[in-house]
C-alpha cells in the first residue's frame, strides 16, 4: 500500500503539522469496510503495521527538528476498526524505541490526544490496565538463533517482557521479516538477478501477503542459482506443505490479534512460527552456502549513507530513492536510487 510521510508549516498554532498516509486512494473511504470483510482483515492488519512505521517516522522527525513536543490522535481507531489496546501498545512501543535512540540531552514530550469523550474514557481504561499489570508476570519469548543478524536483532525484542497480545504480534512480525528475507533471497538468486522495481509497484510497501506470493512464484517458476545463499533452503521451505499450513494459520492469527479477536495462545503461535519458517534450519545454511554476506544483498538490504551500523530491509521504492526499514526499531531511511532505462 502507498505510505507517505511529509510535514508542513503549523501556521499560527503549531510549529509543524506532520502528515502520514497509508491507504490506497481507491480504498478511502467507501471501500475500506468492504476490503476488511473481503480479505479476512489482512489489509487492515497491513494498515496496523504501516501506522507503527508512520509513528516512528514522526517521532524521529520531531527530534531531528528539535521540537519540544508532538501530539498524536489514536490513528487507526476509526474506520480501520483496529483493536484499541493493540494501537496503544504499538504507540507505547514506538515511544520506548525512540527513548533508546535519543542522545544524551535530547528529549521529546509525546502526547496522545483523543477528543471524543467515549473513546478517551475507553483508551484511558486501557492505559490504566496496562500500567497495573505486573511486569514480572508479563511473558517473554525466546526463539532459536537464526544466524541472520536482522532476524536475531528483532528476536531480542521478543526476549523482553511484553504484554501477551503484543508478544503475539511480535512473533507474527518476526515471521513476516523471515518471509521478506526468503523473498529477497530468491530474488537475488534469479538468473538474471532481479531488482525491487521489477517485482514491486512504485510506492507500494512490502507486505506479508505480497512477499509470500512473490516468493512462492519464484520458488516454483523462476530459474534460480542454487549457489546463492539460502536459495535451496528457501525453495524447499516454500514447497513444504506443513510449513504452508502453518503460515496460513499465522496470517489468520495476525489478523485476529490486530483486530482484537480471539487468538491462539502465545505458545501455540510460537510453535506455528517455528514450523512455518523452519527456524531450526536457518543456522545450518552456511554449512552448504558459506558465510552470509549481507553487503552482497544490495539493493534488497541497505545501510544508511551515515555510518550508524543499521541494516534495513527493502520497504518500497520511489522515483528518486529506495526506502529501507530497520525491523528492530521501526526507523526508515532512504538511499538514492539510480534510474533505469525503463524509468526514462
Domain map (residue ranges) of the chain: 4-132, 149-343
| Rounded average pLDDT over 46-71 | 89
Given this model, what pLDDT does residue 135 score?
Answer: 64
SS3 call for 42:
helix
In Å, what is the CA distance from 230 to each residue of 182, 262, 314, 324, 344?
8, 35, 18, 21, 34
* Mean pLDDT over each residue of the chain, to the nearest integer: 86
Given this model, what pLDDT does residue 43 score?
Answer: 65
The single-letter DSSP state of residue 169 is H
Given this model, what pLDDT does residue 71 score?
Answer: 92
Given this model, what pLDDT does residue 139 score?
Answer: 83
In whole angstroms, give the CA distance from residue 298 to residue 308. 17
**Structure confidence by residue, pLDDT tens digits, 72-105:** 998 887 777 789 999 999 999 999 888 888 888 8
**Structure confidence by residue, pLDDT tens digits, 142-197:** 999 999 999 999 999 888 888 899 999 999 999 999 999 999 999 999 988 899 99
SS3 call for 90:
helix
- Beta-bridged to residue 324, according to DSSP, are 314, 333
In whole angstroms, give the CA distance from residue 3 to residue 325. 12
251 pLDDT higher than 50: yes
CATH topology of domain 4-132: 3.40.220
Amino acid at each position: 500500500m502507498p505510505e507517505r510521510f511529509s510535514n508542513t508549516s503549523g501556521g499560527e498554532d503549531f510549529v509543524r503539522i506532520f502528515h502520514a498516509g497509508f491507504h490506497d486512494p481507491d480504498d478511502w473511504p467507501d471501500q475500506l469496510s468492504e476490503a476488511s470483510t473481503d480479505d479476512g482483515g489482512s489489509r487492515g492488519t497491513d494498515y496496523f503495521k504501516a501506522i507503527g512505521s508512520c509513528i516512528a517516522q514522526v517521532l524521529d522527525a520531531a527530534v531531528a527538528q528539535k521540537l519540544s513536543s508532538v501530539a498524536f490522535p489514536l490513528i487507526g481507531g476509526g474506520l480501520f476498526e483496529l483493536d484499541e489496546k493493540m494501537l496503544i501498545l504499538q504507540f507505547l512501543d514506538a515511544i520506548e524505541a525512540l527513548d533508546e535512540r535519543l542522545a544524551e540531552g535530547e528529549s521529546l514530550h509525546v502526547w496522545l490526544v483523543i477528543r471524543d469523550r467515549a473513546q478517551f474514557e475507553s483508551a484511558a481504561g486501557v492505559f490504566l490496565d496496562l500500567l497495573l499489570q505486573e511486569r514480572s508476570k508479563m511473558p517473554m519469548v525466546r526463539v532459536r538463533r537464526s544466524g541472520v543478524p536482522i532476524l536475531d536483532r528483532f528476536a531480542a525484542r521478543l526476549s523482553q517482557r511484553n504484554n501477551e497480545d503484543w508478544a503475539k504480534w511480535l512473533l507474527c512480525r518476526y515471521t513476516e521479516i523471515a518471509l521478506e528475507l526468503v523473498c529477497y533471497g530468491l530474488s537475488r538468486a534469479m538468473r538474471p538477478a532481479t531488482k525491487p522495481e521489477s517485482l514491486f509497484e512504485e510506492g507500494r510497501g512490502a507486505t506479508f501477503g505480497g512477499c509470500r506470493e512473490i516468493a512462492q512464484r519464484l520458488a516454483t517458476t523462476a530459474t534460480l542459482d542454487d549457489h546463492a545463499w539460502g536459495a535451496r533452503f528457501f525453495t524447499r521451505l516454500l514447497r513444504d506443505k506443513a510449513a504452508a499450513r502453518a503460515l496460513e494459520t499465522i496470517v489468520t492469527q495476525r489478523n485476529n490479534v490486530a483486530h482484537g479477536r480471539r487468538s491462539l495462545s502465545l505458545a501455540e503461535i510460537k510453535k506455528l512460527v517455528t514450523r512455518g519458517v523452519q527456524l531450526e534450519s536457518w543456522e545450518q545454511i552456511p554449512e552448504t552456502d558459506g558465510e552470509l554476506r549481507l553487503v552482497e544483498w544490495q539493493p534488497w538490504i541497505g545501510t544508511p549513507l551515515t555510518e550508524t551500523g543499521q541494516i534495513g530491509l527493502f520497504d518500497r521504492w520511489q522515483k528518486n530513492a529506495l526506502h529501507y526499514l530497520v525491523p528492530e526499531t521501526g526507523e526508515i531511511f532512504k538511499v538514492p536510487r539510480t534510474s533505469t532505462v525503463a524509468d526514462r
